Structure formats: C-alpha cells, structure tokens
Structure 1
Amino acid sequence: MKIFGPLYDRAISWAAHPRAPTYLTILSFIEAIIFPVMPEVMLAPMCVAQPRRGWWFATLSLAGSMAGALVGYALGHFAFEALKPLFAALGMLAGIESGIALVQEKMAESPWAVFTFLVLGGFMPIPMKVFTWASGIVGVPMLQYVLSMLIGRGKRVFLLAAVIRFGGARAATAMRRWIEPVGWVATALVVGLVAWLVWRAKFA
C-alpha cells in the first residue's frame, strides 16, 4: 500500500502554486507536529524552479518548523498531564513518574548533552515531530531545545537549498524515488519511540 508517494505528489503540486511560499511555511509548521511528509519534498522543487530564491524558501521553512517545534513540545508535555488520571486508574502513574524523574535528573546533570543529542538527531532523516514530542514528554530544557531545533532543522533546509542550487533537478528526482520506503521507516521510528518511552517509564 502506497501512502507517502501520493502525499509527496500532493506536496509537489503545492510547490507550483503562486502561494507556494505560504504553503511551504504551513507544511513545515504542521510537519513538526504530526504531518508525515517532510517539508523538504516541497522545498526541493521550489528551489529547482527558482534557485536564486532557495535561501529565502529555506528561511520560510525554518520559521514554520520552529513555530511547530514549540507547539509539538507543548503537546508532548501536556498530553501526558491529560492522561494522568487514566495511568493512575491502571496503577501505572507512580512508575511513569519515576521514569520521567530519572530522565529529568540526567538532563539536569548535563543539559548541554541533551542539546548535543538533539543536534545530532537533526542530521538523521527522521521527522522533526519525533524530537518535538519526545522533548516535551521528558521536559528538555527550553534553551537547549530551541537552539538544537534551530541548528538541526536549519542545517537540513539550507543544505538542501545549496544542493539544489549546485546539483540541479537530479536531487529532487532522487527524493521521489525513495519517499515511500523513507516514509515507512520514519513511521516505524515514531511508533518505536513511543513504545520505548512507555516501556522506560513503566520499568525504569
């Protein structure tokens, strides 16, 4: 079953629209929260069509991603609070809270270690929402979080703009070829991350 290919094609059609810069910013925003298609799939053809404006398009994408990163962090943080009564009824609340306290304690010992981890995570082809939700759940310090998201996402969109500027349309063609397997791998990573967080909180 193909899901990510059609989503990619829809993003490509948005790229040809006169309001593509606005759509790119919106896509970058919602991708940081929940949408499965990375904004790079729209940024790439926009850079191909107008290579001299690639840096501006990358800036718009980064701005949308940063706004979405703040929303994703808040949702991750407050979703757990909303589910506390359910966890308490199941007898799981004490174990979950002790697990979260352990993670927070480790972060307090070396908050810049968390920053380094998130920056390095931004170099992997993993959807931004993986890091935004996880950071909110465990309470990553805001300064380190915002800086890591800025660097991690910024290097991706500006590097893509540079590659398209100097590499031409071949880069965009390669993205279409691999979008389906990459999309399924990213989905598996999201599911695995959620399962790991639940297991860590319950058995830590």
Structure 2
Amino acid sequence: MLRTLYDWTLSLAARKTAEIWLAVIAFIESSVFLIPADVLYLPMALARPDRAYRYAIVATIFSTLGGIAGYFLGLFAYDALARPVLEFYGKFDEFEQLRQCTGEDTIMLLLVTSGLAHLPPIKVVTILAGVVQVSFAFFVISCIIARGARFMALAWAMRRYGEPIRHFIEKRLGLIAGLAAAILIALYFIAKYLGGGAMAAC
C-alpha cells in the first residue's frame, strides 16, 4: 500500500492541478496521510524552479493548517477519530510511548524536530500536542517556523542545484535531517540536565 500511495502522490506533480494537490497533501499529511508533501514538492520545484519558493509557501501554509486540524483532532476527537487513524497507520504504540514518557516541554521540542525532519512523524506529534493541550500559540508558531524552514531549504537547494540535488535529497536528506533532529534532541536534554543540576546545586 505504501508504494502505491507514494507512486500516486508522485504522479500528481505532472497534473495541471499540481499546486492544488500540493496544498491538499501538505494539509492531510499532518493528521491522516502517510506520504509527506516533500514527495510531491520536489518534482514540482524541479520542473518549475522559478516557482520553488511559491510552492514552498503553499506547502508551509497548508501543512500548518493541517497541523492545526490534527491538534484539534487530538484535543476534541481523540477516541472517535484520532486514535483510529493512528491505529490504521500502525502509529498508535509510538503515540502512546510519547504520551506516557514526555512532558509538555519535550513535546514542544518534538514539534520542531517533526516539522524539520519528520522525527517523530508529524501526525503523531500534532495529535499528541492536542491531547496534552500544548500552548496553541506555540504550536502554530513552531509549525510555521519548522515546516517553513524545511520547505524553504528545499526550494533553495532545488533552485541552486537542480536535478543532482533531487537525487541526493530523495536518498539521503531524510537520514541527515534525522541525525540533525536527534542531535537537537540530545542537546536539549543535556542542557536540561545541566540546568537542573545547576538549580539543584543552588
């Protein structure tokens, strides 16, 4: 099923309505769709590098709106809607692990890393943010900054390097972004631990 969804999403780039589909995929990937909008964004930006930043803005706006929808799913309809979605995609156990072992401040960090690198998956974190009622203002700002940074970085890379960088991005950028996100998480916990130790020493 995953490969079929991937191929279908990729095929949308060739349609005249590709920009509309980009908005749709960016919206639904935040709560109910498995394939990230990057899959559609990359061939679109490659075909029209003059529109790369425009597409990045569209993707950022609708990804943020989709994140807000996921947040409200978690806040108001977890048992009725959000949980069945997580179970369908096999993300429920991952969700429950995060729910049980992370506090609000950690979830705020995960909102940034998921937006930058899909680590953890965006839909898991957006729904979780609603369940634990993370500050809505912070949630929206983090979506705009983190997801915007990802799409703008892709736009810059596609405009500057074109086809060669596309292959690099498709094969290795996920790993690199994941490592960067892991480093960010590690630095956060180190700073938190040292800060807590310093406060305890006082």
Q: TM-score range by the shorter chain?
A: 0.5 to 0.7
**In structure 2, how many angstroms separate the alpha carbons of the residues matched to 1:19 and 1:122?**
25
Q: Tell me, what secondary structure is at the counterpart of 2:31?
A: coil
CA contact (8 A) 1:8 1:176 kept: no
**Aligned 8 A contact 1:72 1:129 in 2:** yes
Instruction: Note closer, same or farther for the CA distance 1:21–1:80 as it changes in structure 2 (3 Å cut).
Output: closer
Query: Which residue of 26, 33, 56 maps to 2:31?
Result: 33
Q: Distance in 2 between matches of 1:5 and 1:174?
A: 20
Instruction: Indicate the residue corresponding to 1:162 in structure 2.
Output: 156
Is the contact between residue 110 and residue 125 of structure 2 (CA under 8 Å) also seen in structure 1? Answer: no
Can you list the C-alpha shifts for 1:3-56, whole angstroms capped at 9, x where unaligned?
333322212210110110001001101111110000000000000000010000
Tell me the secondary structure at the aligned position of residue 75 of structure 2: helix
Question: Where does 1:52-201 land on structure 2 (aligned, <5 Å)?
Answer: 52-80=50-78, 107=104, 115-126=108-119, 127-174=121-168
Of structures 1 and 2, the larger Rg is shown by 1
The amino acid across from 2:113 in the alignment is L
Q: How big is the shift at 1:158?
A: 0.9
TM-score w.r.t. the length of structure 2 is 0.67
Return the offset for 1:171.
3.5
Residues 156-190 of structure 1, C-alpha deviation per residue, up to 9 Å, x if partnerless?
11111111112212333345557xx99xxxxxxxx
Corresponding residue SS for 1:33: coil
The amino acid of 2:163's aligned partner reads A
- For 1:146 and 1:54, locate their aligned partners in 2 and report how far apart those are by CA, in whole Å: 23
Q: Which amino acid aligns with 1:172?
A: R
For residues 81 and 8 of structure 1, the distance between their equivalents in structure 2, rounded to whole angstroms, comes to 28
Give TM-score, length-normalised by structure 1. 0.67
Q: Deviations over 1:97-120 (max 9, x none)?
A: xxx8x97xx64xxx6x75444223
Q: Give the C-alpha shift of residue 67 in structure 1.
A: 1.1
AA in 1 matched with 2:126: T
Paired residues of 1:116 and 1:148 also in contact (CA < 8 A):
no
**In 2, Cα distance between the equivalents of 1:141 and 1:49?**
39
Q: Which has the higher contact order (CA 8 A, sep 6+)?
A: 1
The alignment-based identity, stated in percent, is 32
Hey, what does 2:45 align to over in structure 1? 47
